[in-house]
């Protein structure tokens, strides 16, 4: 959450559809931004037009407090009917898991998440139901006719 609250307007590169994030230890990483997300960020910015912060506080003189963002996230989950296990980290975990399930190389996921060690990223490689189903289908095809 802290990374998100400190995003500055200059972090968004619309031309290349990327977001520059400064993470732990001042490590920089680039995250791809799909066009619908860019459009939403543009709409959001037009509502506040803060010259520096993507998510400004009420006074506009600093970034949004991470607790405010966390509470807003929890309230949105509640409105969506999601009652348990809702954290920003769960969202990050789902994102990484879906990338891997859809065939994105684990090293790419490592870079997107900003992990230094690949072993940190491997926690997202657990066998989910879609992965197991896909694996069974592949194994069935490979073993047909033996």
pLDDT in tens, 48-107: 999 999 999 999 999 999 999 888 888 999 999 988 878 878 888 888 999 988 889 999
pLDDT at res. 107? 94
Q: What is the residue extent of each domain of the chain?
A: 1-65, 87-146
Contact of 82 with 22, CB cutoff 8 Å: no
* C-alpha distance from residue 96 to each of 22, 43, 44, 69 (Å): 19, 26, 25, 21
Q: pLDDT above 70 covers what percent of the chain? A: 98
Q: pLDDT above 90 covers what percent of the chain? A: 48
Task: Give pTM, 2 decimals.
Answer: 0.72
């Amino acid at each position: 959450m802290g990374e998100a609250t400190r995003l500055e307007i200059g972090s968004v590169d619309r031309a290349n559809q990327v977001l520059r994030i400064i993470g732990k230890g001042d490590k920089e990483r680039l995250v791809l931004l799909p066009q619908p997300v860019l459009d939403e960020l543009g709409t959001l910015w037009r509502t506040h037009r803060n010259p520096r912060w993507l998510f400004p506080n009420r006074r506009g003189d600093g970034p949004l407090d991470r607790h405010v963002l966390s509470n807003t996230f929890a309230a949105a989950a509640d409105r969506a009917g999601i009652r348990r296990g809702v954290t920003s980290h769960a969202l990050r975990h789902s994102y990484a898991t879906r990338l891997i399930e859809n065939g994105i190389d684990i090293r790419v996921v490592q870079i997107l998440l900003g992990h230094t060690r690949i072993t940190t990223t491997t926690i997202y490689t657990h066998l989910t139901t879609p992965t197991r189903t896909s694996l069974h289908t592949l194994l069935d095809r490979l073993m047909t006719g033996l």
